[in-house]
Amino acid sequence: MKRIFVTGGAGFIGSAFIHLILRETSDVEIVNFDALTYAGNPENLTGVDETRHTFVKGDICDKAAVLAALPDDCEAIFNFAAESHVDRSISSADEFVLTNVLGTQVLLDAARARNVRRFIQVSTDEVMGSLPDESNLYFTEISPLKPNSPYAASKAAAEHFVRAARETFGLDTVITRCGNNYGPRQFPEKLIPLMISNAMNDEPLPVYGDGRNVRDWIYVEDHARAIWLAFERGKAGEIYNIGARNEQYNIDVVKAILDALGKPHSLIKFVADRLGHDRRYAIEADKSETELGWKPLTNWEEGLQKTIEWYQENQEWVAHIRNGAYRDYYQKMYGASLK
Ligand code: NAD
Ligand code: DAU
């Protein structure tokens, strides 16, 4: 059995990764270490093979807890745990610095202390900032780091610590940088699940600014598969960009969701823009395709349809979230503009 340590495995992408790996391998055991913040949800793990999955509730900033949970003879740490929402980082960045920066450093130290064979840092294209509108420029692995939001700055800082662990101590590290994920079990603070859930409830859909910001969308399982391949085939010390060559204007995404649900475009409400709103993300994924032998398997139309169906079929999952602390967040974030 290969033992791996996954942090943030009760979140959106971490849980998709765990579902995928337990389904597609028979010789991997996972310790899933997650603090269960507002974004962590044990319901995301319903149906995983419990004989090869151990859940440990803990904070990646807590060195003793990490060392206690880390299995002996560990093949890899996959660091998904993070504060992940840009708008929340604009309201307050403290937690972002703690989890995303300090937490990553704690995990790097633990990896060295316990001779973990590889450290996979799940990073983001946002560390590279914003690309000009409708240009033919793309993010590559050598694009400079120019984070614009506190969230992106914390993820860029984490990358620097990963690099330093490689350069200073020779730790075997790999960094992956992916674009915007969508799919089942995404917390409805992010664009696609927020719009699906509001549309299903006939509530207004808040679109920031002119709606012409571009994001490069990828189905979550394709991202999860790329991370696994980066572990298996990636070169130590390297960075791999992951993207499905699927640039979309926000307004087109929102209209596609309304159309798929048979709801009117009149539900769209343009609201004040996000501060420092990155205009465009677009990823050149040549290196992952060539060196990892990866390619996305789910196209945009199919992925969006599957995602919408998941939310339609899992209204209880959404209701549990919408009934909790989410209500206060939503009120604070959108209350005034959607009146
Ligand atoms: P998410 O917010 O859905 O989940 C984050 C998970 O981390 C939650 O389960 C939460 O409980 C856990 N967590 C938070 N703080 C923790 C702490 N201190 N200790 C232990 N666990 C903690 O996030 P996501 O969208 O699944 O993103 C996962 C990772 O992928 C993040 O590192 C994010 O930066 C990166 N990423 C996300 C996207 C995207 O589009 N969502 C794209 C590229 C990269
Ligand atoms: O690119 C990867 C990143 O994608 C990840 O690193 C982040 O963790 C993830 O949150 C995501 O960041 P974005 O800021 O791009 O995602 P979000 O879903 O918050 O917003 C997508 C776009 O939609 C963005 O241009 C802002 C816009 N938007 C978002 C919300 C929540 C709206 O217009 N209205 C909204 O209510």
Residue-wise pLDDT tens digits, 165-190: 999 999 999 999 999 999 999 999 99
- Superfamily of the domain at 2-181+215-242: NAD(P)-binding Rossmann-like Domain (3.40.50.720)
The CA distance from 191 to 307, in Å, is 13
Which one of the ligands is nearest to 122 CA? 1
- Say which of 34, 125, 216, 247 is annotated catalytic: 125
- Nearest atom in ligand 1 to the alpha carbon of residue 81 is 7
Mean pLDDT of 72-87: 98
The alpha carbons of the chain give a radius of gyration, in whole angstroms, of 19
Do residues 247 and 284 make contact, with C-beta atoms less than 8 angstroms apart?
no
Q: Is the model's pLDDT at 285 over the cut of 80?
A: yes
- Annotated active-site residue 151? The verdict is yes
Residue nearest to atom 17 of ligand 1 (CA): 59
Considering the chain, tell me which residue range(s) the CATH 3.90.25.10 domain(s) occupy. 187-214+249-274+301-332
Count other Cβ atoms within 10 Å, centred on residue 78: 31
pLDDT band, very low/low/confident/very high, at 134 (cuts 50, 70, 90): confident
**What's residue 141's pLDDT?**
98
- Amino acid code (one letter) for 142: I
Quote the pLDDT of residue 151: 99
The question of whether 125 is a catalytic residue gets the answer yes
Average pLDDT, the chain: 97
Does residue 339 register a pLDDT over 80? no
The domain made up of 187-214+249-274+301-332 is a member of CATH 3.90.700.10? no
Q: Atom 7 of ligand 2 has which residue's CA nearest to it?
A: 84
Active site (annotated) includes residue 289: no
Q: Which of 83-97, 288-302, 312-326 has the lowest mean pLDDT?
A: 312-326
Q: How far is the CA of 265 from the centre of ligand 1 (A)?
A: 31
pLDDT digits (tens, 9 = 90+) for 202-261: 999 999 999 999 999 999 999 999 999 999 999 999 999 999 999 999 999 999 999 999
Is the CB of residue 60 below 6 angstroms from any atom belonging to ligand 1? yes
| Ranges for all domains in the chain classified under CATH 3.40.50.720 | 2-181+215-242
- Ligand 2, pocket residues at CB < 6 Å: 84-86, 124-126, 179-180, 190-191, 194, 206-208, 213, 215, 250, 274, 281
Handedness of CA 7, 8, 9, 12 (dihedral sign): negative
